[in-house]
């Protein structure tokens, strides 16, 4: 699991460096700007939310400027975005913030109307540089598919410290956001151009095959073997024979295939994952 987690982090950050979307609020540490874009982008495509963000930040550069204005004015600028309750909550938040400031309520941002765990973590990561994951549906989907798990909430909770080790959480959270929008989309994920496809559980188990066709195939066996090796890093041949319910000759064929693809290293009695 450790190797697989490392691969996900590394690959995601490399992909992000080459493909990241540029928005003015991406570079800021101003919590008001971050709160604004987070509220605007709830249930709204990021490009569309960005258009509204520009209007909002021009009119309300601070919580005080919004709180001194009126709900009617906020709703007028919000017009066309839908889910008007979000505008009302944003206005109420500006009142609280004008009186207290972000630093006074830090880290309890969930006291602001409309701020849940995701937005709280986004504020902690983007504005305060804290090592937290802002877990939204994008992150859950990528974890679920890549690791082949259903209970992503518990999995992320148990592994987030390790996952955030030695990385900039701000970059990692933004990488998840963009990767989930462009590559690992909710429908029709672009597995064919995905840099994670070699180790992705979903890719191994679903791509181009019905379950029936897949069962008992060499590809299924390769997936099982790779999963076992990623969980253990290295493993004795005899152990593989015990753990994988398949004929030894089929296992050997699959192992040699994985070695040919540079995914594993075959030694006399030990098989290890190729982390180079
Ligand atoms: S291979 Fe497909 S399912 Fe797996 S992470 Fe990439 S896009 Fe998502």
CATH number, position 164: 1.10.1670.10
Task: Tell me how many domains the chain contains.
Answer: 3
Residues 27, 38, 47, 246: which is the catalytic one?
38
Residue nearest to atom 4 of ligand 1 (CA): 200
Residue nearest to atom 8 of ligand 1 (CA): 184
Same domain, 17 and 140: yes
Known catalytic residue: 92?
no
Per-residue pLDDT of the chain (276 residues; tens, 9 = 90+): 667 888 899 899 999 999 999 999 999 999 999 999 999 999 899 999 999 999 999 999 999 999 999 999 999 999 999 889 999 999 999 999 999 999 999 999 999 999 999 999 999 999 999 999 999 999 999 999 999 888 888 888 888 888 898 899 999 999 999 999 999 999 999 988 998 887 888 776 665 555 556 667 787 888 888 888 888 888 999 999 988 988 898 999 989 988 887 788 898 889 988 776
Query: Is residue 200 situated within a structural domain?
Result: no
Query: Is residue 249 situated within a structural domain?
Result: yes
Distance CA 228, CA 78 (A): 51
State which residues form the domain around 186. Answer: 2-21+133-190
- What are 46's two structure tokens? 């990021």
Same domain, 119 and 140: no
Distance, CA 144 to ligand 1 centroid (Å)? 10
Same domain, 162 and 74: no
């Amino acid at each position: 699991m450790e190797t697989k987690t490392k691969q996900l982090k590394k690959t995601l950050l490399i992909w992000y460096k080459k493909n990241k979307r540029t928005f003015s609020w991406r570079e800021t540490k101003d919590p008001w700007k971050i709160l604004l874009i987070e509220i605007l982008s709830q249930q709204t495509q990021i490009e569309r939310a960005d258009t509204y963000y520009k209007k909002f930040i021009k009119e309300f550069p601070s919580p005080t400027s919004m709180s001194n204005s009126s709900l009617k004015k906020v709703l007028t600028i919000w017009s066309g975005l839908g889910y008007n309750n979000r505008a009302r909550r944003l206005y109420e938040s500006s009142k609280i913030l004008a009186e207290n400031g972000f630093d006074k309520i830090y880290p309890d941002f969930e006291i602001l109307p409309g701020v849940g765990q995701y937005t709280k973590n986004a504020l902690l990561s983007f504005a305060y540089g804290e090592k937290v994951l802002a877990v939204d549906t994008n992150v859950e989907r990528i974890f679920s598919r890549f690791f082949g798990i259903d209970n992503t909430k518990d999995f992320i909770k148990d592994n987030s410290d390790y996952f955030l080790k030695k990385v900039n959480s701000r970059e990692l959270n933004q990488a998840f956001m963009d990767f989930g929008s462009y590559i690992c989309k909710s429908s029709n994920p672009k597995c064919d151009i995905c840099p994670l496809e070699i180790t992705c559980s979903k890719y191994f188990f679903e791509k181009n095959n019905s379950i029936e066709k897949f069962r008992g195939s060499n590809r299924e066996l390769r997936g099982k073997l790779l999963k076992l090796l990623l969980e253990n890093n290295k493993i004795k041949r005899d152990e593989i024979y015990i753990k994988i319910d398949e004929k030894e000759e089929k296992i050997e064929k699959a192992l040699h295939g994985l070695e040919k693809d540079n995914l594993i290293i075959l030694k006399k009695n030990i098989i290890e994952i190729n982390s180079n």
